[in-house]
Structure 1
Amino acid sequence: MSFDPANSDSGSPRPGPVFFDRPELDLILRVYGRMVAAGEWRDYAMVGHAEVAEFAAFRRSGDAPAIRIEKRPALRLKQGQWAVIGEGGLVLKRGRDLAQVLRVFDSRRFVVVK
């Protein structure tokens, strides 16, 4: 048997992790700033995986995330690549446009239950 590099998995380039670009991060951090100013959130974390980028906001540093904002490019043409997920995994909003999805945090439409 001969080795065929065209059929080898090690020769194919692998995509890097999914992450937020600058304009997306700007929109997310604006919402984060508003929620910090309102006293709802105090900390955040970001992580990029192979299939999803995630922004998590916390009420306190040691708690589970109060909210997660996910970017899943694989769902771009189906449900939309953006999702806002609340505590317990409840999807609060999903869509194709980040600005539209982040409207779930408008003060009149979103109330944090403690």
Structure 2
Amino acid sequence: MAQTHSIHEEESHGSIGSYLTGFVLAVVLTAASFWVVLHGGFSRETALIGLAVLAVVQILVHLVYFLHLNTSSGQRWNVMAFAFTVLTLAIVVIGTLWVMHNVTMNMMSR
């Protein structure tokens, strides 16, 4: 008789504790972002850097706790697809900024 294997054998789904930890971290990071903006005591550059750092940390929290992205062998293709997406997005964004900067420099009178 042929053995049947489930497609989801190697998937690890989070526990209630894992989801609660991710939720609490996400709420704390969101509250910290609001506090940075509403506090008003920071310079513009400091606030932007703080918000960028909090945003990156929140992305990582969502990837780890809610999307279960990790470095296990079962997640290798997911990590590679995510890395390709990030690389493509970086190329598009940086290329757009570069083109727009060159257009501005060449079209504006100095």
> Could you tell me the TM-score, scaled by structure 2's length?
0.29
Q: Which has the higher strand share?
A: 1
> Could you tell me the TM-score, scaled by structure 1's length?
0.28
Q: Which has the higher helix share?
A: 2
